[in-house]
Amino acid sequence: MSMDDLPPPLLLEILNRISDSTDLARCRLASKTLKSLSYEVRSLTLICSFDRYLRSRSPDSKTLTTPFKSIVKKNLLYLSKTLESVSVSIEKPFCDSFEYDDGEDEYDDLHLTSVDFVSQWLPEVGERLRSLSISDFWIQSCWRKSEVLALISACCDNSLLNLELKNAWLSVEGLKLMPMLTSLTLEFIRLDDEDLNKVNECFPSLQILNLIGVGGFREPKIHLLQLKTCHWTVSNAPLCLAIHAPKLIDLTLKCVKPKVLVLKAPLLSVLDLSIEKPSYDIDVDRFLNLKSLRIESSDPRTLVRLFPDGRTVEKLVLEAPKQADLFELREMVDFESLMSTFPNVVTVVMGPWIYVELEKSFECEDPAVRFGWKRLKKLTVYLVLSELEVTCSFISFVFDRCSALSDVAMLIHSDVIDDIKNRLISKCLCDWPRVGWRWECGKKDRKIRGFATVSNPALLSAISIDKESRG
Residue-by-residue pLDDT tens, the chain, 471 positions? 556 666 767 766 666 666 566 666 666 656 666 666 666 678 888 899 889 888 988 888 988 888 999 989 988 887 777 889 999 999 988 875 444 444 446 788 999 999 999 999 999 999 899 999 999 999 999 889 999 999 999 999 889 999 999 999 999 999 999 999 999 999 999 887 778 899 999 999 999 999 998 887 888 899 999 999 999 998 777 778 899 999 999 999 998 778 888 999 999 999 999 987 777 688 888 899 999 999 998 888 888 888 988 999 999 999 887 654 544 555 567 788 888 899 999 999 988 778 877 877 776 666 565 567 899 999 998 887 778 888 888 888 888 888 899 999 988 877 778 888 888 889 899 999 889 988 886 544 444 333 333 333 333 333 333 333 333
Report how far residue 372's alpha carbon sits from residue 397's, in angstroms, rounded to the nearest whole number.
10
Q: Is residue 455 part of a domain?
A: yes
DSSP, collapsed to helix, strand or coil, labels residue 134 as: strand
Instruction: Kindly list the strands in the beta sheet with 260-264, ordered across the sheet, starting from the edge strand earlier in the chain.
Output: 221-223, 240-244, 260-264, 282-284
Are 456 and 441 in contact, with CB atoms under 8 Å apart? yes
Q: Is residue 69 part of a domain?
A: no
In angstroms, the Cα distances linking 204 to 131, 150, 210, 268 are 17, 16, 15, 19
Please tell me the total count of domains within the chain: 1
**What pLDDT is stored for residue 312 in this prediction?**
95
Q: Is residue 164 part of a domain?
A: no
Q: Is residue 77 part of a domain?
A: no
**What pLDDT is stored for residue 321 in this prediction?**
73
Q: Is residue 7 part of a domain?
A: no
Read off the DSSP letter of residue 325: G
Q: Is residue 447 part of a domain?
A: yes
Calculated CA dihedral for residues 272, 276, 277, 281, nearest 10 degrees: -30
Are 178 and 203 in contact, with CB atoms under 8 Å apart? yes
Number of H helices, E strands in the chain: 16, 20
Residue 84 buriedness (CB in 10 A; 0-12 / 13-18 / 19+) = middle
Q: Is residue 252 part of a domain?
A: no
Read off the DSSP letter of residue 415: T
Are 415 and 385 in contact, with CB atoms under 8 Å apart? no
422 lies in which domain range?
301-471
pTM to 2 decimal places: 0.84
Report how far residue 109's alpha carbon sits from residue 144's, in angstroms, rounded to the nearest whole number.
13
175 membership: H or E segment, kind and range: none
**What pLDDT is stored for residue 198 in this prediction?**
92
Give every CB contact of residue 375 below 8 A, 6+ residues apart in sequence: 314, 344, 345, 346, 404
Report how far residue 312's alpha carbon sits from residue 204's, in angstroms, rounded to the nearest whole number.
30
| Other Cβ atoms closer than 10 A to 116 | 11
Q: Is residue 450 part of a domain?
A: yes
DSSP, collapsed to helix, strand or coil, labels residue 315 as: strand
**What pLDDT is stored for residue 171 in this prediction?**
93
Q: Which long-range contacts (CB under 8 A, 24 or more apart) does 149-153 make?
A: 149/174, 149/175, 150/174, 150/175, 150/176, 151/115, 151/118, 151/119, 151/122, 152/118, 152/122, 152/126, 153/177, 153/178, 153/202
